[in-house]
Structure 1
């Protein structure tokens, strides 16, 4: 809107010069009532120098300000000249103002505060669902809004790249997988293997035991299993990036659950030191309340961790890094 006000002020100066008042200038202001127009020129300051009433000055000035590509209508109302801008000009002014960050649409002053926004967060080896697109778009919008409002924003893609499901996927890949097909269609092939695993699991107890064994070895750092897990992760990320590129989505950090693996022991120790854990049937748990409410599992009896353990590690790590 600023350029529209400057436009009418410039035209008013030129018209006033023709009226015998060279150097005279009027400031375009918001009218008291928007029903009168989008801007108003008050002619009171010119009465003494032009030796005319403000109403007479306004009437003559309005007659000289013909509509143009930006101005739709100019009407005198007593001592005021009311100006109505063309809708297309106003729309263009607002949109370009937003896109270019011009006042009053530009970024707010820095607040000195940080907000960490966790969005998208797809699961490795699984399709990018409509639900994930929803959280991706909402999260990206919040990231931009907070940034515009003066916050230091950190966008995190917290990948689901760890957990017992990888034992199942890798066990299925070991038994039925096609490595060439994996490279051609990574998401489709791993999903097919995951579905087949669950179809066969009840009929084949050895398959479930092998999946648990593979996940234990994954957590222990077995080189062969880690390499296969990383291949699947990289292939999945390549597929996800195609969607992000189409949507114009970016992140400051792409860190999966696996990133927090080195922090798991200190996370568990931090909770233990708080004095709220206990061992139940060989597992480390936190009681959340009285009665039959199930406890919070931090570490299973076989020594493996859970999603919640890794979430806690992420919370502690982000707090220390970004606070």
Structure 2
């Protein structure tokens, strides 16, 4: 029998989100109902609200979540009732051309629940990233659930459902930072800070943190940055070259995603260095770059989707590092709030005052 809960819904481009009744159906074949314990508010949620990632309104937003499986549909074998799970939006199919060539982190046919959740009047909702977890209950595909140790608080575990995993994976997976390398990270929101921690985990000798917010630069130093750059007070490219003996960084991670920051990343690297774009660009963003410079610098220019992670591999590994005290995930939980405070949390996000606001469900 379906259940009705109150979820955070974006009904129109640019409009404030609303707390509305959401009907969650019983799980069908391959589907799972999860009672959400905690859900982070990610920049991607704001992109849904502003219309930057589609026009499938109304959206049930929220996707960076952890909770407990409360019902399973026919044929579900991946999880069982009572499992504590992190929700992820990369439920790999194993059959598409990316999976078959041994690159499942690029899976082109990831699974979502077949049935839509709906408003009380019957209007079908588009679940953000196929999850829709800013609600006490949601319906997902079984492959979107990754079990985790219940000793980890859900507000911490859920961080790996999107943004923090994106940053860690940008360094560990996409850039494949190696021991002894010099890494620069441009933009110190949640994703950028996570990329910094990922570079340190990988054994980077130097990690240069770049931002215009002095409080974030200070936190970056506390988290292991070996140098910081106030982007508002100097030439970022020249300063990175100065800090790396005049040659540039081996890896530069752009966690902002504007043409200006991407060009800084491109020119701040060493010859044959790697640029990783993990910040999500605006739909109308454009680059103007001399093709000869692309040739002359060499190296690689990469985008990082969800940190090129495999949830079943990476989430347990990273949470194990957290439990060992080797990966500080607590620092990302800037505040915990109620489900009726999401609009205010978006304003704090816009102002750069939080790494993550996390909604705790009652």
Instruction: Specify the TM-score bucket, using the shorter chain as the normaliser.
Output: under 0.3
Higher relative contact order (CA 8 A, sep 6+): 2
TM-score between the two structures when normalised by the length of structure 2: 0.19
TM-score between the two structures when normalised by the length of structure 1: 0.21
Rg larger for? 1
